[in-house]
Amino acid sequence: MIALPAPETFHDYQNLARLTDRGSGGGLPSFAALGLFGEVGSVLAEVKKLQRDNLSFRAHYDVVVEELGDVLWYLSTIASRAKVKLDDVAQDAAALFNPLFVSTPVRFDDFGRVGLTINFNPSPSYALALRKLAAQTGAVIEEDIDAISKDQLTALLAMTLHYLAEVSYESGIPIIDAAQANIKKTLRRWPTPTYRKFTDTFDDGYPTYERLPRKLLIDVFEVQRSADQYFVIQRIAGVNIGDRLTDNIAEEDDYRFHDVFHYAYAANLHWSPVLRALLKNSCSPCVARASEYASANECRCDRERCGARARGLGHQLREGSAPKLRRSSRIRGGHCCLAWQAPKGPPR
C-alpha cells in the first residue's frame, strides 16, 4: 500500500489537487466554478438534514468532511486553472480573521490560530456563515472569472475560503481534515503513476488452467427470435459460452446482456466466480496447493471463492449495479466486442 500524501499547506494541497483535475469544460475556471456552486449546495443540503433531524455533526463527521473537502477542491481548481496561487488566496482569507498569525506558506492549521475554534454544537452565527458562503459562491458564478484579473479573482476566492473556513470550524471540522481526506479520496479515484500500486491478481498462484485469461475477446450479439423477443449469444474464439439469454420477464429490461457485468468484474477486479464457471476453469484439488485445503480432497478456493454462494454474490452485485439496463441501439441487431488485457491486479 502506497501512503497517500497529507498536505499541511495550501501550496502543497493545490499541487496535489491539480493532479486530479481532468480538464473538463475546456479547462476553464468558470466550468470549475459550476462544480464549486454545486458542492456548496451539497454542504447546505447536508447541514439542513442534520439540523432537521436534530443530529450531531460529530455523528456525521465523514459525510460533512467529504462535502467540505469537495468545496475546497473546486476552489483550488478554479485558482489553478486561472494560474492563481492558492497560497495567496489563503493568505488573504486568513488575514480577514487575524493577519498576525499567518505563516508563509500558509498552513491549514493557521486557521486555528487566527481565532477560529472547533464547535461541535454550531453557534447562532453558523446559519449566517452558511448564507454568506452560499452568497459568495453566487458572486463567483455571477462574475466572468475567465476574463477578470488575477487580483480580482484572488479577492473573490479569498472571501469564499474565508467563509468556508468559518463553516468548517463551526461544523466541528478543522479545515485540514477536510483537505487531507479530499486528497486521499481524489488520488484513489484518479491515481497518478506515483500513487498507483497494483495488487497481485487473485489467481497468480494457481495453475495456468485455473486462471482467468489475461487477454480475452468476447463477442456479444443479439439475435431476433420472434417479432417481440430477442436473445443474446456470447462467443469466445468462435465457441459459444453460457446459455442463450432472454429477459425472462414480462417487461423488457435488457437482463439478457447482464453477463457484461461479470466480464467487467474480471477485467477490473480480476475475479469473477460466474465467469470462471462459464469458462470452466474453477479451482480443483491440487496437491501443489494442499496448504489451501482443509483436507487433501477439498479445495477451499472452490468452496469459498468459486462456489454457489460466491456466484450468487456476483449476481447480487450486478442487480445492485444495474436495476434497469438501458437499451443500446449499437448492440441491437449487431455485435458488441468486449476485450481486456489485464497483467496486474486492481489498484489499491
Q: Where are the alpha helices (DSSP H) in 203-335?
A: 259-268, 273-278, 300-304, 308-321
SS3 of residue 239 by DSSP: strand
Q: What is residue 346's predicted lDDT score, i.e. its pLDDT?
A: 47
pLDDT per 10-residue tile (average), the chain, 348 residues: 88 97 92 95 80 65 88 97 97 89 88 75 76 94 96 97 91 90 94 79 77 84 81 86 76 76 80 80 52 48 61 61 46 48 48
- Hey, what amino acid is at 19? L
**What are the b/e assignments for 191-216, b being 16+ CB within 10 Å?**
beeebeeeeebbbeebeeebbbeeeb
- Residue 223, pLDDT score: 86
- According to the model, what pLDDT value does residue 324 have? 46
Pairing of strands 335-341, 239-245: unpaired
Per-residue model confidence (pLDDT) at position 58: 62
Query: In the beta sheet, which residues pair with residue 223?
Result: 231
pLDDT reported for residue 326: 46
> What values do phi and psi take at 194, rounded to 5?
-65, -35
Beta carbons within 8 Å of 10's beta carbon, 6+ residues apart = 76, 86, 87, 89, 90, 105, 106, 107, 108
169, HSE (Cβ side, Cα atoms, 13 Å): 18
Buried b (16+ CB within 10 A) or exposed e, 315-331: eeebeeebeebeeeeeb
Q: Give the residue extent of every domain in the chain.
A: 10-195, 208-341
Which amino acid makes up residue 272? S
pTM attached to this predicted model: 0.69
Cell reading at 25? 469544460
